[in-house]
C-alpha cells in the first residue's frame, strides 16, 4: 500500500513539473497560426499629406474591432493638430495582401485618463479582433503583442513579441518625496487603476499594439509605452526591458460610451 502511494505521488510530482513546459509548448505551437489570423486586423496609425515629402508619417499602432470600421489606439499616438489647410489627415495603414492601403480616419472619441482613442475609417470593413476579459488575466501567463515598432525606419512590417505578465500593479506609485511628484503623476494617484507589466520589450511605434492570448487571439490589453512609463518610472531612468499594457476593460468602457458594440 505504501509502495503504491509512493508511486502515485512520484507520478503526480513529475506531472506538475512537466505541465508548465507542456503549456509553454502549446502556446509556442499555436502562436504562428494566431499571428497569421490577427495580423490583417493590426494597423499602423499616422498622418498623410499628399504634398508632403514623405507624404506618410507613422506614429504608432492600432487594431480594428467591432464592425470592422473602428480602430482602437493610444490617445498619445494621434497628433494634437492637423494642417487642414494642406489637407493633412489622420491615416490608418492597413495590409492588403502584399501592399499597404491608406484609409482616411477621424477620431470619434477618447479617454485621456487611460490614454485611449477610437477612430472611424472610411471604405469597406477590415478584419477585426475580439476583445477578451481582463479579469481572466493572471500574473505569469504568456501573452503576445503585434505592432509596428520604429515604423519609419523598419517599414510597415508587423512584428510580434511574446512575454509573461510580470505583474499587475497600479499605474502610479507614491513617491518617497513630495519633490518627486509632478502634475500628471498626482492626477493618476487620485484615481489609480491597474496595468499589466510585461517582460517583453516594446519599442517606439508599438504604442497601441494589441496584447492578446497566443491561442485564442482575444485582446486583453493595449500596449502603452509612454503614458504608463511616465507614471511609474519618474525616478528610475525608464528601463528599456519593461513594457506595459492598459487592460481591455477600459477599451470596452470607451466603446460602450460611444455606442459601439464590441465583439
Q: DSSP states of 131-170 as a string?
A: B--GGG--TT-EEEEEE-TTHHHH-S--EEEEEEEEEEEE
- Considering the domain architecture, whether residues 240 and 184 belong to the same structural domain is answered as yes
Q: What is the C-alpha R_g of the chain? A: 21
- Considering the domain architecture, whether residues 52 and 105 belong to the same structural domain is answered as yes
- Considering the domain architecture, whether residues 16 and 113 belong to the same structural domain is answered as no
- Considering the domain architecture, whether residues 176 and 235 belong to the same structural domain is answered as yes
- Considering the domain architecture, whether residues 173 and 226 belong to the same structural domain is answered as yes
Look at residue 173 and tell me whether its pLDDT is greater than 50. Answer: yes
3-class secondary-structure state, position 183: helix
Look at residue 178 and tell me whether its pLDDT is greater than 50. Answer: no
What's the confidence (pLDDT) of residue 182?
Answer: 53
Look at residue 92 and tell me whether its pLDDT is greater than 80. Answer: yes
Lowest-pLDDT range, 34-38, 61-65, 223-227?
223-227
- Residues 104-125 as b/e (b if ≥16 CB within 10 A, e otherwise) read ebeeebbbeebbbbbbbbeeee
Which residue, of 72, 96, 121, is where some domain finishes?
121
- Considering the domain architecture, whether residues 181 and 198 belong to the same structural domain is answered as yes
For the chain, what is the domain count? 3
- What's the rounded Cα separation, in Å, for the pair 110 and 257? 10
- What's the rounded Cα separation, in Å, for the pair 213 and 230? 26
CA-nearest of 81, 41, 74 to 60 is 74
Q: Give the tens place of pLDDT for each residue, 216-251.
A: 999 999 999 777 766 555 544 555 567 999 999 999
Q: What is the CATH number of the domain that holds 45?
A: 2.40.10.10
Range of the structural domain that residue 234 is part of: 134-257
- Considering the domain architecture, whether residues 198 and 150 belong to the same structural domain is answered as yes
- Considering the domain architecture, whether residues 71 and 168 belong to the same structural domain is answered as no
Query: Would you say residue 251 lies in a domain?
Result: yes
- Considering the domain architecture, whether residues 138 and 252 belong to the same structural domain is answered as yes
Of 11-15, 184-188, 201-205, give the range with the top mean pLDDT: 201-205
Q: By the 8 A CB rule, do 139 and 104 touch?
A: no
- Considering the domain architecture, whether residues 148 and 98 belong to the same structural domain is answered as no
CA angle 214, 258, 48 (to 5 degrees): 75
Amino acid at each position: 500500500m505504501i509502495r503504491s502511494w509512493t508511486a502515485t505521488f512520484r507520478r503526480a510530482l513529475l506531472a506538475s513539473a512537466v505541465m508548465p513546459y507542456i503549456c509553454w509548448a502549446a502556446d509556442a505551437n499555436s502562436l504562428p497560426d494566431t499571428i497569421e489570423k490577427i495580423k490583417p486586423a493590426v494597423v499602423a496609425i499616422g498622418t498623410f499629406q499628399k504634398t508632403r515629402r514623405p507624404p506618410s508619417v507613422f506614429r504608432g499602432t492600432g487594431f480594428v474591432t467591432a464592425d470592422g470600421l473602428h480602430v482602437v489606439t493610444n490617445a498619445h499616438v494621434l497628433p494634437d493638430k492637423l494642417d487642414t489647410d494642406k489637407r493633412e489627415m489622420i491615416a490608418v495603414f492597413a495590409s492588403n495582401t502584399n501592399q499597404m492601403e491608406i484609409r482616411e480616419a477621424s477620431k470619434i472619441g477618447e479617454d485621456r485618463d487611460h490614454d485611449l482613442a477610437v477612430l472611424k475609417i472610411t471604405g469597406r470593413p477590415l478584419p477585426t479582433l475580439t476583445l477578451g476579459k481582463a479579469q481572466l488575466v493572471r500574473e505569469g501567463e504568456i501573452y503576445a503583442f503585434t505592432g509596428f515598432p520604429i515604423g519609419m525606419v523598419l517599414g510597415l512590417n508587423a512584428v510580434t513579441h511574446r512575454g509573461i505578465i510580470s505583474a499587475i500593479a497600479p499605474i502610479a506609485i507614491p513617491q518617497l518625496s513630495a519633490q518627486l511628484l509632478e502634475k500628471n503623476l498626482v492626477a493618476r494617484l487620485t484615481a489609480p487603476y491597474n496595468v499589466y507589466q510585461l517582460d517583453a520589450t516594446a519599442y517606439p511605434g508599438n504604442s497601441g499594439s494589441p496584447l492578446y492570448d497566443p491561442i485564442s487571439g482575444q485582446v486583453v490589453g493595449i500596449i502603452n509605452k509612454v503614458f504608463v512609463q511616465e507614471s511609474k518610472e519618474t525616478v528610475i531612468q525608464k528601463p528599456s526591458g519593461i513594457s506595459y499594457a492598459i487592460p481591455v476593460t477600459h477599451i470596452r468602457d470607451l466603446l460602450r460610451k460611444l455606442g459601439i458594440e464590441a465583439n
